[in-house]
Chain A
Amino acid sequence: MIDLKRRNRRPLIAMSSMSDIGFLLLIFIMLISLINQRYEEPIEYPEAKLLEKTQEKDNLEIWIEAGGAVSVEGNRVTGEQLELIIAQSLAETPGIRVHVIADKNAPYRHIDSVVKVLQKLQLRVVSFVVKEEL
Chain B
Amino acid sequence: MIRLPERRKIDDPGSSGALNDLSFILIIFFIVIAGFNINKGFLLTLPDAERPRIVQTDDLVKCRIDAAGTVSIDGNALSVEKLENLLVEKKAKWPNMTFLLIIDEDCAWEHVVRVIHEVRKLRIENFSFKMDGERR
B residues lining the A interface (CB < 8 Å): 1, 3-4, 9, 11-15, 17-19, 22, 25-26, 29-30, 33, 36-49, 103-110, 112-114, 116-117, 120-121, 131
A residues lining the B interface (CB < 8 Å): 1-2, 9, 11-14, 17-18, 21, 25, 28-29, 32-33, 36, 38, 46-55, 59, 61, 64, 99, 101-109, 111-112, 115-116, 118-120, 123-132
A109 to B17, CA, bound (A): 59
Which residues from B are CB-within-8-Å of A124? 45-46, 48
Which residues from B are CB-within-8-Å of A126? 43-46
Sample of 5 more A-B contacts, CB < 8 Å, known A32-B30, A108-B109? A12-B13, A50-B121, A53-B38, A119-B49, A127-B42
**At the interface, is chain A mostly helix, strand, loop or mixed?**
mixed
Partner of A2, one of B3, B12, B107: B3
Partner of B48, one of A2, A61, A119, A125: A119
Contact A36 B13 (CB under 8 A): no
A1 to B2, CA, bound (A): 10
**At the interface, is chain B mostly helix, strand, loop or mixed?**
mixed
Q: Given contacts A107-B106, A126-B46, are A59 and B39 in contact (CB under 8 A)? A: yes
Q: Given contacts A13-B15, A120-B49, are A104 and B41 in contact (CB under 8 A)? A: no
Which residues from A are CB-within-8-Å of B109? 46, 64, 102-108, 111
